[in-house]
Amino acid sequence: MDFNSREIQLQYEGFLNTSFLWNDSFYGLSQLVLPNVPPTSFEGALSKNTRLGKRVESFVSHYLQQFEEIHIVKENAQIQNGNITVGEIDCLLLQKNVPTHLEIVYKFYLYDASVGTTEVEHWIGPNRNDSLYHKLDKLQHKQLPLLYKKECEPLLQKLDLDLDTIQQRVLFKAQLFVPYANENMVFNQLNSAAVSGFYINLRQLEQFKDCKFYIPTKLNWLLEPHKNVSWLIFADYKVKITEILSQKTSPLCWVKQPNGEISKFFITWWQQPKVV
């Protein structure tokens, strides 16, 4: 296995090991329920330029093919109104012969209690330009209703699918990050197993001056941290990360403690609010 293939396999395994953001149903959205199967090798072809979202869709496609009860009918179906794209349906499949419209989501969210008033509203993207609340709203009011628009009728007819029998599901996985020193926070609505690490800002970095660091590429945000990377000492990391943060980008990083323990964390360009 060459390096690129090995890296893709690790990304695939990281995707598989990421927890569902919730179990069963939440906010009127039902997760696709599947039996457990042993992890497999990813055998698809991906270019180096395949962005993270599309890469995850490829991983999901390969994953679904492991199940005898699943038959994929159509993927990435562009819904058109003349020359205008109305939207895209991620996947149409049969699960035990039941037609299913599946939307695929993989996200990274940070818990910021200063945003909104509910647990759902507190989860925001690393750069504060998206949120869990808005994604759930988009799924409910735009992505899933696309199936029922008149522009979708030709596709369903072509695939011989009866709209009245189609169930709708999501495959929503996420990595959640909480304020530093609050890793034991308990959440009432979301799956606590999705908590993958913590987040800090530059002012808090001095607490880690005895540690070593690694800055993975965005595609490798999927990976579970491991020791076989080129670690940076604190001084070198601080120079690199300061430059990244100056561009108002919050990267995901790995930190290795002196005792060898490795963790994932985000370092944010924005000031972290105080935790009450």
pLDDT in tens, 138-186: 999 999 999 999 999 999 999 999 999 999 999 999 999 999 988 778 8
- Domain end position, chosen among 153, 169, 192: 192
pLDDT (0 to 100) of residue 203: 93
Same domain, 33 and 78: yes
Tell me which residue of 220, 207, 229 sits closest to 251, measured CA to CA: 220
Which of residues 125, 158, 192 is at a domain's end? Answer: 192
Q: Are residues 163 and 208 in the same domain?
A: no
Q: Is residue 274 part of a domain?
A: no
Same domain, 17 and 148: yes
216 domain residue, yes or no: yes
Question: Are 143 and 263 found together in one domain?
Answer: no
276 pLDDT tier (thresholds 50, 70, 90): very low
Q: What is the mean pLDDT of the chain?
A: 93
Banded model confidence at residue 1, pLDDT cuts 50, 70, 90:
very low
Do 143 and 222 lie in a common domain? Answer: no
pLDDT at 44: 79
The position carrying tokens 């990595």 is 175
Structurally, the chain folds into a number of domains equal to: 2
Residue of 93, 62, 64 whose CA lies nearest to 159: 93
pLDDT (tens digit, 9 = 90+) per residue, 202-227?
999 999 999 999 999 999 999 999 99
Q: Is residue 211 located within the same domain as residue 153?
A: no
157 and 219 within one domain: no
**Domain assignment of residue 169, given as a range:** 3-179+186-192
Q: Strand, helix or coil at 263? A: strand
Rounded Cα gap, residues 159 and 89, in angstroms? 13
Q: Which of 131, 160, 192 is the last residue of a domain?
A: 192
Long-range contacts of 84-92 (CB under 8 A, 24+ apart): 86/146, 86/149, 86/151, 87/142, 87/143, 87/146, 87/149, 88/146, 89/146, 89/147, 89/152, 89/155, 90/57, 91/60, 91/61, 91/64, 92/159, 92/161, 92/166
pTM, full prediction: 0.94
Residues 6+ apart with CB under 8 A from 54: none
- CATH number of the domain encompassing residue 247: 3.30.1490
Distance CA 224, CA 98 (A): 34
Q: Per-residue pLDDT tens for 52-104?
A: 999 999 999 999 999 999 999 999 999 998 889 999 999 999 999 999 999 99
Are residues 231 and 162 both part of a single domain?
Answer: no
Whether residue 92 lies inside any domain: the answer is yes
Residues 19 and 88 in one domain: yes
- Residue 162 shares a structural domain with residue 249: no
Is 93 in the same domain as 230?
no
Span of 33-42, 140-149, 159-168, 247-256 with lowest mean pLDDT: 33-42
